[in-house]
Structure 1
Amino acid sequence: MNIVYLVFGSNLENYQQVYFSAYTAFAHKNTEDRIIVVAEDPSLFASFHDKIEILPISRALIKEWEGKYQFFWRVKIKALQLVAEKYPSDSILYLDGDTFFYQNMYSLRDGMKNGQNFMHVAEGKLSALSSKTERLMWKQMKGKSYFNVKIDNNSTMWNAGLIGISPKHFGCLDLTLGINDAMCADGVTRRLIEQFAFSLGLNEFSKLKPADNVVGHYWGNKSEWNQIISHFLKEIFMKNYSLDEIVEKIRQIDFSKIPVKVKESSTQRKLKNLVDQFYKNKKPLYINK
């Protein structure tokens, strides 16, 4: 099984998240499982040495992968196609960087081996979801078909923080890409297109199952997790821990004590932005060279 991450751009927090998630994967994977990082800056993973496989991608390739409609998250679909082409017999377990393993992955590995596809969790039927983006998507697509997949009252949105694809169903990536591009061509509001395309494409080949009992996804509490991860990485690098020591430290973390989602106060956020705007640091002092 290939455990796959994708990271590009220059934001170091995104790379740190992949580091931490990969360490949790080491704590639960089998010896035959392979960790692959599709990365724009491979040099940032030098400390792993030969423990993971890096598939480097360039900025030019990323722009090419965005396709005719220059859709940012189309890159995720193309990255998984790249891995599937290189390892056509191995399951793909893709994870966003802001994830972590907290249980063994036997059920996912065995399920994909037997033809089961996974995504992180079902968020609900698009027709019943309440966010502004989802309501607009439903209004735009209700009753339409994209690559012969009809959008109806039962069309379900799944969270794409985890995507598990059986090698028996790699054709679902072509379908997902086709649906994604057809939605872009139709002018569907973009923020969740790739996520919904995966939801539809994978489900056409195998009725999707959730994986949130194995992997946590802290998209709803990134600021706290980023602080925890930053502290964790500082400690292990300053103390020059071996990979075995890092994995043991991971196993000691009680992940149930850190929320993966919190309800942020919009009033607090607006007040903070207002204060930051009006009260800025003044009179910076620099050294003379």
Structure 2
Amino acid sequence: MNIIYLVFGNNMDNYQQVYFSVYTAFAHKNTEDRIIVVAEDPSLFASFQDKIEIIPISRAIIKEWEGKYQFFWRVKIKALQLVAEKYPLDSILYLDGDTFFYQNMDSIRDGMKNGQNFMHVEEGKLSALSSKTEKLMWKQMKGKSYFNTKIDDDSTMWNAGLIGISPKHFACLDLTLEINDAMCADGVTRRLIEQFAFSLGLNKYSSLKPADHVVGHYWGNKPEWNKIIGHFLKEIFMKNYSLDQIIERIREIDFTQIPIKVKESTSQRKLKNLVDQFYKNKKPIYIKK
């Protein structure tokens, strides 16, 4: 099985998140599992040496992968196609950086060997979802078909923080890409297009199952997790821990004590932005050459 991450751009928080998720993968993977990072800046993963595989991508490749409609998250689909072409016999388990393994992954590995596809968690039928983006998508696509895939009352949105694809169904990546591009061409609001395309494309080949019993996804509490991960990485690098020592530290973490989602107070955010706007630091002093 290939455990895959994708990271590009220059936001160091994104690279740190991948680092941490990779360490949690080491704590739960089998010796046969391969960890692959598709990265725009492969030099940032030099500390792993030969323990993971790095597939470098350039800014030009990223722009090419964005396609005719220059859709940002189309890159995720193309990255998985690249790995599928390189390793056509191995299952794909893709994870966003803001994830972590907290349980044994045998059920996912065995499921994919037997032809099962996975995504992180079912979010609900698009027709019943409540966010502004989802309501708009339903209004735009209701009753339409994209590559023989009809959008109806049963069309379901899954979270794409984890994507597990059996090698028996790699053709679903082609369908996912076609649906994604057709939605872009149709002018569908873009924020969740790639996620919905994966939901439809993978489910067409194998009724999707959730994987949240194995992998956590803290998209709803990134600020707190970024602080925790930053402190963790400082500790392990300052103390020059070996990989075995890092894995032991990972196993000591009680992941049940860190929320993966919190409801942010709108009033608090507005007040903070207002205070920051009025009380800015003044008269900075710099050293002189």
Aligned twin of 1:10:
10
Unaligned runs of 5+ in 2: none
- Taking the aligned partners of 2:249 and 2:86, their CA distance within structure 1 comes to 33
The reply to whether residue 135 of structure 1 matches residue 135 of structure 2 is yes
Aligned twin of 1:258:
258
Aligned residues: 289
The TM-score with structure 2 as length reference comes to 1.00
The aligned runs of 1:62-211 (5 Å cut-off) are 62-211=62-211
The aligned runs of 1:53-68 (5 Å cut-off) are 53-68=53-68
- Taking the aligned partners of 1:17 and 1:261, their CA distance within structure 2 comes to 16
Structure 1 residue 195: Cα displacement: 0.1
Structure 1 residue 35: Cα displacement: 0.2
The reply to whether residue 216 of structure 1 matches residue 224 of structure 2 is no
- Cα offsets for 1:68-102 (capped at 9, x unmatched): 00000000000000000000000000000000000
- Taking the aligned partners of 2:232 and 2:79, their CA distance within structure 1 comes to 28
- Taking the aligned partners of 2:143 and 2:245, their CA distance within structure 1 comes to 54
- Cα offsets for 1:38-86 (capped at 9, x unmatched): 0000000000000000000000000000000000000000000000000
Structure 1 residue 143: Cα displacement: 0.2
- Taking the aligned partners of 2:272 and 2:160, their CA distance within structure 1 comes to 31
- Cα offsets for 1:167-226 (capped at 9, x unmatched): 000000000000000000000000000000000000000000000000000000000000
Task: Give the counterpart letter for 1:21 in structure 2.
Answer: S
Aligned twin of 1:24:
24
Q: Spell out structure 1 runs of 4+ moving beyond 3 A.
A: none
- Taking the aligned partners of 2:193 and 2:180, their CA distance within structure 1 comes to 6
Structure 1 residue 275: Cα displacement: 1.1
- Cα offsets for 1:115-171 (capped at 9, x unmatched): 000000000000000000000000000000001100000000000000000000000
- Taking the aligned partners of 1:66 and 1:3, their CA distance within structure 2 comes to 23
Q: Could you say what secondary structure the match of 1:94 adopts? A: strand
- Cα offsets for 1:228-250 (capped at 9, x unmatched): 00000000000000000000000
Task: Give the counterpart letter for 2:20 in structure 1.
Answer: F
Q: Could you say what secondary structure the match of 1:38 adopts? A: strand
Unaligned runs of 5+ in 1: none
Task: Give the counterpart letter for 2:138 in structure 1.
Answer: W
- Taking the aligned partners of 2:274 and 2:188, their CA distance within structure 1 comes to 33
The TM-score with structure 1 as length reference comes to 1.00
Structure 1 residue 286: Cα displacement: 0.7
- Taking the aligned partners of 2:22 and 2:220, their CA distance within structure 1 comes to 20
Q: Could you say what secondary structure the match of 1:37 adopts? A: strand
- Taking the aligned partners of 1:189 and 1:262, their CA distance within structure 2 comes to 26
- Taking the aligned partners of 1:127 and 1:196, their CA distance within structure 2 comes to 13
Q: Percent identity?
A: 88
Q: Could you say what secondary structure the match of 1:285 adopts? A: coil
Task: Give the counterpart letter for 1:7 in structure 2.
Answer: V
Structure 1 residue 277: Cα displacement: 1.2
Structure 1 residue 274: Cα displacement: 1.1
